[in-house]
Amino acid sequence: MSGRIASRFLVRHAFLSAFMLFAFAGSAAAQDALAKLRAEYAAQTNPVDKAKTLAKLAPREMAAVHDFSKAGDDEKALAALAQYRDAVVATTRALVATGVDASRHSGGFKELQISLRMFIRRLDDLILSLQPDDRPAFRAVRADLETAQNSLIDALFPESHPKRASGPGSQ
Domain chopping of the chain, boundaries: 29-156
Q: How many CB atoms lie within 10 A of CB 14?
A: 10
Query: Distance between CA 82 and CA 76 in Å, rounded?
Result: 10
Distances in Å between the alpha carbon of 169 and those of 57, 165, 166? 55, 10, 8
Task: Give the rounded distance of the alpha carbon of 162 from its chain centre.
Answer: 36
Residue pLDDT, tens place only, 121-143: 999 999 999 999 999 999 999 99
When pLDDT is cut at 50, 70 and 90, the band that residue 107 belongs to is: confident
Q: How far is CA 31 from CA 63, 67, 129, in A?
A: 10, 11, 23
pLDDT higher at 114 or 166? 114
Distance of alpha carbon 47 from its chain centroid, rounded?
Answer: 17
pTM for the whole structure? 0.75
Give the integer Cα–Cα distance in Å for 103 and 101. Answer: 5
Residue predicted with more confidence, 108 or 166: 108
Q: What is the pLDDT of residue 18?
A: 46
Task: Give the closest residue to 87 by CA, choosing from 59, 47, 125.
Answer: 47
